Chain A
């Protein structure tokens, strides 16, 4: 039986990817942030999953405005790296896990989550920056990946309830897969940030920290937080945090908090990161 062994949440700031790619992680601006991931990189070496289901959003990198899927799943053998305007990030090709992915997509659709099925997908910083943070700069990624893009860019985004429920459905579907696989679920994006308008640069540390507490202890209440609150309190782009709820839903009722890190700023953004494991 496949099983979900951990949930990872992390911001996916594009400038963090650029700092890795340009070998600037030791510079005074970046060092404190990357130091916050040292524990996680070591932890990940001891707990490398066979497959990571990475929940992220595309930033107008692969999806244009022709098609805007609310929930989608990449079921291909591999995923190329997008050119986001600066040229593609120099990171390894992302390998897929088509057997588990087809099982998952089918299970979720039958469970009333109408996933858009992606046989072809190129992935952007939303997916690759978390991989760089957790794995560093290997020649080949040590895990296979099932990308799960969520629309968090255009309102209406899916509701928090829907996201938490999707996570629960992912857990059921993984457990029904015939194959001995260690699976992690990663929820990416956030925390508070706003990168547009006169209010740009907004950061709300107390709100972010409360969000992390509630994610651990009280996701059943947290799921009802309306989009408007995310946007007002955590900035227009802070609404990405609904993706952390999908990760949380996949871990079951109770979790252990293995690690937490919070840092301001990375570019325009508050960086938040957690490692959670399901409680036996």
Chain B
């Protein structure tokens, strides 16, 4: 069966981690995996740039990590489960990190979740939203 990677591009505000994205983000995600070890977490947090320079990442991937710009990290092939090692090493929760990718602050985001989450209505298609 011929893979269809285009089918996901109409989902608004969503980056599907395809095998192609995984290829693009290989070293970014491998860097994240290294943070499973406490010694590496300490070394990374004490000298981020030096630590990143040990990995074959692109300059824009490194900058996105330094900026903690999670949306850019997704754009450059990162996957949120890998990226979670970055925010976990700083003691942040998924909610704290994930909310930075939305147009809400943490409190607003938490309130939305308590109210039942983001309604799918209006969030199914970029075309429908006039974004495509």
Question: Interface on A for B, CB 8 Å cutoff?
Answer: 14-15, 18, 59-61, 64-66, 68, 82-87, 153-156, 192, 194-205, 207, 228, 231-233, 236, 264-265, 267-268, 270
The A-contacting residues of B in range 36-88, CB under 8 angstroms, are 36-38, 41, 70-71, 74, 79-82, 84-85, 88
| B residues less than 8 Å from A195 (CB atoms) | 80, 94, 98
Q: Is B114 an interface residue (CB 8 A)?
A: yes
In the complex, are the beta carbons of A153 and B79 less than 8 A apart? Answer: yes
Interface CB pairs A-B, < 8 A, 13: A60-B33, A64-B33, A84-B88, A85-B88, A86-B88, A156-B18, A196-B15, A199-B13, A200-B118, A202-B117, A228-B8, A232-B120, A236-B17
In the complex, are the beta carbons of A60 and B16 less than 8 A apart? Answer: no
The interface size bin for chain B is 35 or more
| B residues less than 8 Å from A205 (CB atoms) | 116
In the complex, are the beta carbons of B95 and A268 less than 8 A apart? Answer: yes
In the complex, are the beta carbons of B94 and A60 less than 8 A apart? Answer: no
| B residues less than 8 Å from A204 (CB atoms) | 120
Specify which of A18, A153, A267, A268 lies most central, judged by the most chain B CB atoms within 10 Å of its CB: A268
In the complex, are the beta carbons of A60 and B102 less than 8 A apart? Answer: no
Once bound together, how far apart are the Cα atoms of A232 and B121, in whole Å? 11
Q: Which of B19, B26, B71, B113 is A156 in contact with, Cβ under 8 Å?
A: B19
* CB within 8 Å for A64 and B116 given contacts A195-B94, A196-B101: no
In the complex, are the beta carbons of A231 and B14 less than 8 A apart? Answer: yes
In the complex, are the beta carbons of B118 and A85 less than 8 A apart? Answer: no
Specify which of A14, A156, A198 lies most central, judged by the most chain B CB atoms within 10 Å of its CB: A198
* CB within 8 Å for A84 and B112 given contacts A156-B3, A201-B102, A233-B120: no
Can you name the residue of chain A whose Cβ is closest to the Cβ of B75? A197
Closest CB of chain B to A24's CB: distance in Å? Answer: 13
